[in-house]
Structure 1
Amino acid sequence: MSFRVSTREYKSYTYTDSRTGASVQKPISLDVYLPEGIDCWRNPLLRFSEPHKKQQSSIGFGGIVVERERVAQLVVWIHPGGFLQGNRKQIPPHLQRAVQNHRLVVVIPDFRLCPQVSIVESLTDIRDACEYALGGALGDSVNTSTWALGGNSAGGWAALLLGLGLTASTPTGSAVQLPTLSRLPRAVFAIYPVTDITREGGACFYEPLKPITWTPSVSAGVGGDGIIDGALLEPFLRKPGQAPLGGSTERPDAAGVNQDEEGEEEEEDASAVVTSSDPENDPIRSQLFNYARQEGIFPSLVLPSDLPPERVSIPALLRGEALTSATASAAAAAAAASSSSSSSGPPNSLPLSTSQSSLSSRSPLLNLPPTFIAWADADDRVPPSQSIETVKALRACVGGAEVQTHVVKGKEHLFDYEEDAEIPGLWRWLMQKMGGLT
């Protein structure tokens, strides 16, 4: 294929080493896929803290400032893995082909993985990667005035949350503020996305499934009865700086080993915050999503304790349920606080309206970006209902959101990783929405 890949470090993060107590700083990288003939450079003077800063435009007739011609459309794509595993190298073949066929510049970031962090930190990294790409770091050959955001599975979940602006509304009294984009994309696409982890809409994520009903992509840790050995996964279920949950990490295939300078084997820190986990180098951790479904613990692995699942569930957000449920708790807390204090609280302590109106009827985001959602009807890992209910909620928004769908018959999760797989109409639709086709 005629494309090049450039790797950039777009931010860094710190965590505490659970073995030494020392603070560790590591970079987070993204890959930039470039079609043949497109040069992509980074201005070393341009800092991430200056989003959307552009190079000086040329002067046209009459002293009018005009933008230089830009020839490649920007797409940011988020990899699958349930926010628990995966990395930026897991790019489906049809996306690789689209780079050259449609002259796209595709940015694929790594991000901090749960459960060592929560979905809040994962989304923050994804937001920061988008802002890095939009801020001019990719050069004048990339058109950042119109762009698209998409992803597969949990990556599609992130694309919908951020790309539709659904993280913008924070209920009064909430301790958690979700990241938001400074500029929404022109189009959003999600392929077999996770969308709902409430107990009502995402009941499957709370119900143990022993054994899981699909064939794992890796066999490490799977017994003859199809059950994944929890003792092997326990080291990866702890937070940095916390004691293990009781599982042994002595087996080399469980957490891995390193050699120190004297040649002695040193156990890797399984609780370290990582941004990449692939089956070849991390076969045990690569069972995390399967194990989470087996045990019915997926929501608890990605949510912080003070974030209700409605706050990150697409249908609930579109229907306005996330704010109203959180507001009820906030109102109760505010009432308790006011009864114990003679002074009046600040204005922002007042509860929001408990109206059940849809997001677009009470939000400044009256025009949600056009959305393309594709899924397979034989998907056991992420049930088709996750996509179907999201499409219904989008279409039920006041004014009706523009939604395009495609259903693949008889296929399972990750169907588009097959070499010849295509999603009919996706790329042409995307180019039309970004203005690359007429």
Structure 2
Amino acid sequence: MSPSPTELKFKSVDGVDIFVDVYLPEKASKENSAPVLLWWHGGGLLQGTRKGVAPHLVRAASKHNLCVVSADYRLAPQTRLPSILADCFDTIAFLRAPNSAFAQLVAGTADATNKLIVSGSSAGGFLALLVGLGIGQTSVSSVLRDGVQVRRLDPPVKAILPIYPITDLDDPFWTTKQRPVSYMPSIIPEERVAPFLDSAAEKTAFSTLDSPRAVFYHYMVQEGILPALLLENTSISPSTYSVAPAIRSRSCQLPIPPTYLIHGSIDDKVPPRQARDVFEALKAYGSEELGMSGQDLSQWVVYEEREGLDHLFDREEAEEMKDMYEFVKRVVG
């Protein structure tokens, strides 16, 4: 039987309360503390909710003895990408703080300091890569409006698990109009999303899966405006957050944590080349740079492309993500 989550508020900013849901493993103890798997939801950083966690993640608490944390963050364009990243780092600071509500809840049975895994689906996978690899942080910290300093993690995460991730805002997929989008029956009129396009509108860190905002991602793809929605008025180039180029130029945290990427081969919401590019960049690293000297690197940098599967395939009730959890077991124990 899957556990019910415990809701914890980890941050209040801009008049917005931001929460995590914590799924506690039944078998964890102080003597054998569970790893913490921190997951961020998708939606282009424009929509979505921590409540959209996939069934396999909910089951992972009991089945794989993981403390699963599903986190919200402020949504664009009312909040831009730099401050969204600040929310992600503040989530980790909350999980690692010795006197936080999370620490009181787990009471030593889960370890977010030494056994932290970051994951996410789609745009959430993008956040996991940026946070886990420390990409774009110098530029981010210099332009934050809310006084939060974004930083690289110490200690670093134990693993990164991006699920069909966005990885490069410079990809033409995000800047080329598609009218209509290949998977939508007709063009979405601007008036359907006008309240969400307004960057001066009330900030939010949550939108239900059936809310009017749920069409916002598809409108963004239709109009090719993701970089503008995430970065307008920040003076930051989209290339700052291009994951594969940052890896190739060594503009990332070293050693690189073990990384497992997975994507469906027919995904038309986020092109699978986004994950492939990151995998190819990671493969160019040596064992020392990956902190895996003398070991088989194919066990620590993995790309799985699932033939014939589309975006959100892991939301199916029967999907177990077996290979991903085997990777976690190998990396964390």
Name the TM-score class by shorter chain. Answer: 0.7 to 0.9
* Cα deviations by residue, 1:330-388 (Å, 9 ceiling, x for unpaired): xxxxxxxxxxxxxxxxxxxxxxxxxxxx34xxx6x431000000000100110011011
Structure 1 residues 4 and 38 mapped into 2: Cα distance closer, same or farther (>3 Å)? farther
User: Which position in structure 2 is the counterpart of 1:195?
Assistant: 167
More helix by share: 2
Query: Do residues 7 (structure 1) and 4 (structure 2) align?
Result: no
More off after superposition, 393-402 vs 127-136: 393-402
Judge conservation of contact 1:208–1:294 (CA < 8 Å) in 2: yes
Judge conservation of contact 1:8–1:31 (CA < 8 Å) in 2: yes
Query: Do residues 207 (structure 1) and 167 (structure 2) align?
Result: no
Judge conservation of contact 1:123–1:179 (CA < 8 Å) in 2: no
Judge conservation of contact 1:170–1:178 (CA < 8 Å) in 2: no
CA distance in 2 between partners of 1:175 and 1:4 (Å): 39
Q: C-alpha displacement at 1:174, in angstroms? A: 6.3
Pick one of 281, 305, 326 that aligns with 1:407: 305
Q: C-alpha displacement at 1:26, in angstroms? A: 2.9
Structure 2 unaligned spans of 5+: 291-299
Judge conservation of contact 1:70–1:140 (CA < 8 Å) in 2: no
Structure 1 residues 236 and 179 mapped into 2: Cα distance closer, same or farther (>3 Å)? farther
Q: C-alpha displacement at 1:37, in angstroms? A: 5.2
CA distance in 2 between partners of 1:178 and 1:291 (Å): 30
Q: C-alpha displacement at 1:178, in angstroms? A: 4.9
Q: C-alpha displacement at 1:162, in angstroms? A: 0.5
Which amino acid in 1 is paired with 2:280?
K
Q: Under a length normalisation based on structure 2, what TM-score does the superposition of the two structures give?
A: 0.87
CA distance in 1 between partners of 2:124 and 2:72 (Å): 11
CA distance in 1 between partners of 2:70 and 2:143 (Å): 30
Judge conservation of contact 1:115–1:239 (CA < 8 Å) in 2: yes
User: Which position in structure 2 is the counterpart of 1:19?
Assistant: none
Structure 1 residues 131 and 178 mapped into 2: Cα distance closer, same or farther (>3 Å)? closer
Equivalent position SS for 1:106: strand
Q: Based on CA coordinates, which of the two structures has the bigger radius of gyration?
A: 1
Which amino acid in 2 is paired with 1:315?
A
1:365-376 aligned within 5 A? 365-376=253-264
Equivalent position SS for 2:6: strand
Query: Do residues 294 (structure 1) and 217 (structure 2) align?
Result: no
Equivalent position SS for 1:12: strand
User: Which position in structure 2 is the counterpart of 1:385?
Assistant: 273
Pick one of 26, 39, 42 that aligns with 1:77: 39
* Cα deviations by residue, 1:157-211 (Å, 9 ceiling, x for unpaired): 000110122234449x96467543343211111010000011xxx1111100111
Which amino acid in 2 is paired with 1:425?
D
Query: Do residues 279 (structure 1) and 209 (structure 2) align?
Result: yes
Which amino acid in 2 is paired with 1:134?
R
Query: Do residues 27 (structure 1) and 25 (structure 2) align?
Result: no
Q: C-alpha displacement at 1:431, in angstroms? A: 2.2
CA distance in 2 between partners of 1:143 and 1:416 (Å): 26
Query: Do residues 166 (structure 1) and 128 (structure 2) align?
Result: no
Pick one of 79, 83, 93 that aligns with 2:55: 93
Equivalent position SS for 2:5: strand
Q: C-alpha displacement at 1:304, in angstroms? A: 3.6
User: Which position in structure 1 is the counterpart of 2:121?
Assistant: 152
CA distance in 2 between partners of 1:141 and 1:424 (Å): 24
Judge conservation of contact 2:52–2:209 (CA < 8 Å) in 1: no
Q: Under a length normalisation based on structure 1, what TM-score does the superposition of the two structures give?
A: 0.67
Which amino acid in 2 is paired with 1:6?
T
Which amino acid in 2 is paired with 1:272?
E
Equivalent position SS for 1:374: strand
1:21-420 aligned within 5 A? 25-36=15-26, 69-136=31-98, 137-138=102-103, 139-144=107-112, 145-170=114-139, 175=143, 178-198=150-170, 202-215=171-184, 226-240=186-200, 271-280=201-210, 282-283=211-212, 285-305=213-233, 306-320=235-249, 358-359=250-251, 365-399=253-287, 401=290, 402-420=300-318
CA distance in 1 between partners of 2:151 and 2:196 (Å): 26
Which amino acid in 2 is paired with 1:158?
L
Query: Do residues 428 (structure 1) and 326 (structure 2) align?
Result: yes
The percent of aligned pairs where both chains have the same amino acid is: 33
CA distance in 1 between partners of 2:283 and 2:27 (Å): 40
Structure 1 residues 110 and 307 mapped into 2: Cα distance closer, same or farther (>3 Å)? same
Judge conservation of contact 2:115–2:158 (CA < 8 Å) in 1: yes
Equivalent position SS for 1:27: strand
Structure 1 residues 411 and 2 mapped into 2: Cα distance closer, same or farther (>3 Å)? closer
Aligned pairs, how many?
Answer: 311
Equivalent position SS for 1:406: strand
CA distance in 2 between partners of 1:386 and 1:297 (Å): 17
CA distance in 2 between partners of 1:380 and 1:30 (Å): 29
